[in-house]
Copies of this chain bind each other. A is one copy, B any other.
């Protein structure tokens, strides 16, 4: 199913990979890693979600290893952060916006690809979430940090991805998935994430937790 012309789709993919790679390289700099650490974190953040999805749905070898553009884009992002780190940090707000755009794009394309490989609707939503958020989780695990996806003191990231992915499967069920409607699903996830960042939306924690963590004090 070609949602967009495949050229447009490909350039959107590369743009999403680029901004995810930037976020990986920036975390590597904050963790004081060297250029190898920057490259690895950039590559894992940008390609990890799609790799995970492709392994799970049986699309092997994964797109990340068969498309040269996918492999080289994280290297370009690493070079940019390597030489212009202070400038990239300064536009961190813009990076967050582009990251939200990548989130919207990847939760839609991940869900569609999983469905095309024969998964059910619920599993396809899970794969949409894995595509959008898996790279960031792998980035945090490699950097030996608690994944920001799991923390209560971070603005919601998984919820917009699940909403966008759910919109896609509802559209599939209604046989209304087109370039326009899938673009709207991506925009929905994108806008939800921006609103979450703007208004500090967080997900709730368990009711009446007895164990109070030091973080809360």
Rounded to whole angstroms, the CA-CA distance of A147 and B28 in the bound complex is: 12
Q: State how many angstroms separate the Cβ of A14 from the closest Cβ of chain B.
A: 15
A36 near B: Cβ within 8 Å?
yes
A5 near B: Cβ within 8 Å?
no
Within 8 Å by CB of A58, from B29, B57, B60, B118, lies: B60
Rounded to whole angstroms, the CA-CA distance of A66 and B60 in the bound complex is: 18
Rounded to whole angstroms, the CA-CA distance of A55 and B51 in the bound complex is: 10
26 A-B residue pairs with CB within 8 Å: A28-B150, A32-B151, A32-B211, A32-B216, A33-B150, A34-B202, A34-B203, A35-B204, A35-B205, A36-B158, A36-B203, A37-B149, A37-B151, A56-B61, A57-B65, A65-B119, A68-B122, A71-B126, A72-B122, A81-B206, A83-B206, A83-B207, A84-B207, A85-B206, A142-B147, A143-B146
A interface residues, Cβ below 8 angstroms from B: 28-38, 40-41, 51, 55-58, 60-62, 65-66, 68, 71-72, 81-86, 89, 117-120, 122-123, 126-127, 137, 141-147, 149-152, 156-159, 202-211, 213, 215-216
A65, A89, A205, A207 — most chain B CB neighbours (10 Å): A65
